[in-house]
Structure 1
Amino acid sequence: MNIPEFGVESWLNKWETKAKYDISQSSVEAMTLEELISLEGIDVETFFKRYANLRLDYGAIEGSYEFKQLVANLYKNVTPDNILQMNGATGGNFLALYALVNPGDQVISMLPSYQQLYDIPKSLGAEVKYVRLQADNNWNYDLNQLETLITTKTKLITLNNANNPTGTWLNRDQLEKLVQIARGVGAYVLVDEVYEPLIQQTNFTPIVDIYEKGISVSSLSKSYSLPGLRIGWTATNREIADLFRKYRDYTTICGGVLNDALAVVALKHREEILNRNRRIVSENLQIVKKWVASESKVSLVLPQAVSTAFIKLELDEDDVSFFTRLVEETGVLLVPGSAFGMPSYARLGYCCQKEILQVGLEKLSDFLHHE
C-alpha cells in the first residue's frame, strides 16, 4: 500500500501549535468543557461525579443507545441500530472506503476536497476520476462533468457536502440529480457531511435520506465545535451497516465511555450549540467580507454559512514558501492551497475567536503588501 503525505494534516501538524494567530482551522471556535457541561445546568465537578465509579471499560462498542438514538433523530430514514459510532468523520470515511473499494474499482471524487476521499481509494487500487470545481463557477458541482465520467465500473462517488475547503454545498435538487446518475450504474454515494451549513439549511439534505446506497458520515468536530471529543458516525441502511460492522471490528472497537457521555450532552443540546455557532459564522463572515473588499490582492467566493473559506491571493512566489514565511515571521497560520492541489489559494478558517481573526487578517494584509 502506497499513499502520499496528507497535505492539510501534515501542514497543521507542523505549525498549529507554534502559530499565534491560527486562522487555518475549519471548525467553528472550539467549546470549552465548562461551556459544554453548562448546557446541562450543572458544573463540571457535578457532571464528573456522576462517573466517579464508572469502570473505564470499552462501554457500548457501537456507541451507547442514547447516542445512537440522538444521532438517528437527525435523519428521516435511519434507525438507531444503523448508526455506528466512529473516531471522528475521518474514521467514518475510512471505514466506508475500506469496506467498499477494491482494486480495479472506479471512484469519482470532487476536487478540491478532503484528501482522504480520493487518495485512500487510490491506495486501495482504485481508479479515481475527478469532478473539478471551478472558482469562476462559484465552486459549484458540475453534474454534466459527472455524467461524462461515470461508467458501469463506477463503484463509489465521494463528496464533501459542504465542501472543504470552499465552504459551498450541493442543495437537495442537485443531490437528487446526482442520485439519479449514481442509481443508473448502482454506485454507492459516500458524503462527508461534517460541515453542516449553519444558516439557510432548508434545501440541505443528508444523502442517506434520499438514496438507498447513500452513506452519510458526520461528527461533532466542525459545526458542533467539539473536535477534541473525536466522536463521529456513519448513518446508512441496514445492509450497509451490517457490512461496515465486519470492517469496523478491525479498525475502531469503541469511542470511549467518557467521550460518548459528552457526545450525548452535545447532541441533547444541539440547537443551543448551533445557535452559538450561527452567531459566530454570521459575525465573523462580516469581518471577512469587509477585509476582502478592501484587500486588492485577495478574492473570495463566499462560503455558504460554512466554517471554512478558500481565498485566492496574488503571490510572487509559491504558496508553501509564502505561508511558511508568514507563520514564521508573523505567527499567522493558513493552509496553503497546494495542500488541496490548488496553488495560490489558501484555506481561511474564519470561525476562530473574533480578535484572532481580525489581527490575523491585518497581519496577512501587511505581509502581502510590505514584505
Structure 2
Amino acid sequence: MVKIEPFALEIWMDKFEKDCKYNIAETCCASISLDKLQELSEDKTTTILPSSKILNYGAIRGSESLRGNLSRLYSAKTGNPLPAENILITPGAIAANHLFLYSFVGPGDHVICHYPTYQQLYSIPESLGAEVDLWKAKSEKNWIPDIEELKSLIKPNTKLIIINNPNNPTGAVLPKTLLQNLIDVASTRSPPITILSDEVYRPVFHSISPMDAEFPPSILSMGYRNAVSTGSMSKAYSLAGIRTGWIASRNPDIIETCAQARDYTTISVSQLDEQVAAFALSPSTIHALLSRNIQLAKTNLSILAKFVDRHDDICSWVSPKAGTTAFVRFHREGNAIDSAEFCKRLLDKTGVLFAPGKESFGDDFEGYVRIGYVCETEVLKGGLDKTKVWLRKEFDDIPLAA
C-alpha cells in the first residue's frame, strides 16, 4: 500500500469552505457561468454545448479544437510552434501533475521541488519512493529561490526539478533570468534533468508587464526539450467546474509515456468539459476572459494592499506579482501568531475563511495565512471589513505560535 501524507490544504478547504460566508481562501479567479462565458465572447452564434453531439469517449488524447487552441497559446511569440500532438488533456491540473509524476518518478530517483508550493508537488514523489529535497524560497528575498542553493541540492540521481510559476501561495514569479539559469543547470547534467513547471496560475500577470525584461515566459518557450508544463481551466480561466487541464512538452516521448499511463486511469476527458474549454480558449473569447480576470486581480489586490498597509503593525507581506494568492504573516511585536487558531476563530466569529500557513504549507510558515483575493470584489471587501472589526476586538487574544 502506498503511504502518502494527508493533503493538509485540501482537507482544510473541504472541511470549512462549504459553510463559510466569505471564502477568501479560494484560489480561482471568480468563477463564471456558461451564460457569462457566452456574454464575454465575440462569438454570439456558436452553441457552447450542442445538444446533438454524440457523447461517446471522444478524442482520447483531447479534442482537436482544444489542443489546437492550446497549441496556439504556447506557440505565441516563439519561432518554434508547439504541435497540438504534444499536448495531452487531463481532468484538471491536479490530474496532470499526478499523471506525469506517476509516469516518471520512482524509487531511487531524487526530486528537487520549489517551496513553498502546492503539497501535491512534493508529497506525490515521496509517496512513489523518490527522495525529495525542497528548494526553499524566502520572504526576505521576495520569495525568489537562489540558483546556487539549487546547485548544492543536485545529486547524481537527480531526475526532476519541479517549479510552480506563478507561485501558490506567495504570488511570486520566477523571473526569466532565473528560468534560463535553471535550464542551464538541468541541461548540462548527464543525463539531462527534466523540469516540471506547474503553470496553473499563468497567465494572470497583474503586477509585472510583458515588456519587463524579466517577464517569465512559459518554460516551453525557452527551448529546453526536457521541459514539461501543466495547466488548467480552473485558476486563470474561471472554469474550475469543468475539470479540464493538460500536460504539454516539446519532447513527444514524454507525452507518449503519460498517454500510455493514462490508459489505466481516465482514458479520456468529458466531451462536454472539452467543448466548454475549447470555446473559452478560442480567439473570440480568451482575450475578454483574461482581461476580465486580470482587471479583477488588479482591483482586488489594491483593496488587499490597503488592508495590509492599515494593519502594518500586526501583518506583513511581499506583494504578489501574479496569480490569485497572497501570503500574509500576522504577528504580535514580531512574534508569529498561531495561524490555525487565528483562522478558526476568525471563521467562527465572522464567516471569513483564510488558509493557515503552517497547516497548509509546512512548519516553516507559522503565522502566515493564504488569502485568495481574486474572488468577486464584493466578497473580498465584505470579508476584509469583517476581519478589520474582528482584529480590533480579538487579535490580542490569539495565542502565539509554540
One of 288, 292, 300 as aligned partner of 1:276: 292
Match of 1:101 in 2: 105
CA contact (8 A) 1:297 1:368 kept: no
Any residues of structure 2 matched to 1:242-281 within 5 Å, and which?
242-268=256-282, 269-281=285-297
Any residues of structure 2 matched to 1:15-164 within 5 Å, and which?
15-38=16-39, 39=41, 41-42=43-44, 47=47, 51-76=50-75, 77-164=81-168
1:216-240 CA deviation, whole Å, 9 max, x = no partner?
1011111111111111111112111
Q: Tell me which amino acid in the other structure corresponds to 1:114.
A: Y
1:198 maps onto 2:210 in alignment: no
Q: Tell me which amino acid in the other structure corresponds to 2:205.
A: L
Identity %: 39
One of 336, 359, 372 as aligned partner of 1:349: 372
1:73-104 CA deviation, whole Å, 9 max, x = no partner?
11234201111001111111111100110101
Match of 2:11 in 1: 10
Q: CA deviation at 1:208?
A: 2.0
What CA distance in whole angstroms lies between the structure 1 residues aligned with 2:42 and 2:127? 44
Match of 2:316 in 1: 299
Q: CA deviation at 1:328?
A: 1.8
CA contact (8 A) 2:173 2:322 kept: no
Where structure 2 has 5 or more consecutive residues not aligned to the other structure, the ranges are: 76-80, 395-402
With normalisation by structure 1, the TM-score equals 0.95
Aligned residues: 368
Give the SS at the match of 2:264: helix
What CA distance in whole angstroms lies between the structure 2 residues aligned with 1:60 and 1:154? 35
Match of 2:177 in 1: 173
Aligned CA-pair RMSD: 1.5
Give the SS at the match of 1:74: helix
Q: Tell me which amino acid in the other structure corresponds to 1:47.
A: T
With normalisation by structure 2, the TM-score equals 0.88
CA contact (8 A) 1:40 1:265 kept: no
What CA distance in whole angstroms lies between the structure 2 residues aligned with 1:125 and 1:41? 49
Q: CA deviation at 1:317?
A: 5.0
CA contact (8 A) 1:198 1:277 kept: no
Where structure 1 has 5 or more consecutive residues not aligned to the other structure, the ranges are: none
What CA distance in whole angstroms lies between the structure 1 residues aligned with 2:245 and 2:286? 14
Match of 1:366 in 2: 389
What CA distance in whole angstroms lies between the structure 2 residues aligned with 1:142 and 1:369? 38
1:176-198 CA deviation, whole Å, 9 max, x = no partner?
10011111221110000011133
What CA distance in whole angstroms lies between the structure 1 residues aligned with 2:220 and 2:376? 34
Worse-superposed segment, 118-127 or 25-34: 25-34
Q: Tell me which amino acid in the other structure corresponds to 1:350.
A: Y
What CA distance in whole angstroms lies between the structure 1 residues aligned with 2:205 and 2:3? 37
Q: CA deviation at 1:305?
A: 3.0
Give the SS at the match of 1:312: strand
Match of 1:209 in 2: 221
What CA distance in whole angstroms lies between the structure 2 residues aligned with 1:194 and 1:363? 30
- Moved beyond 4 Å, runs of 4+: none
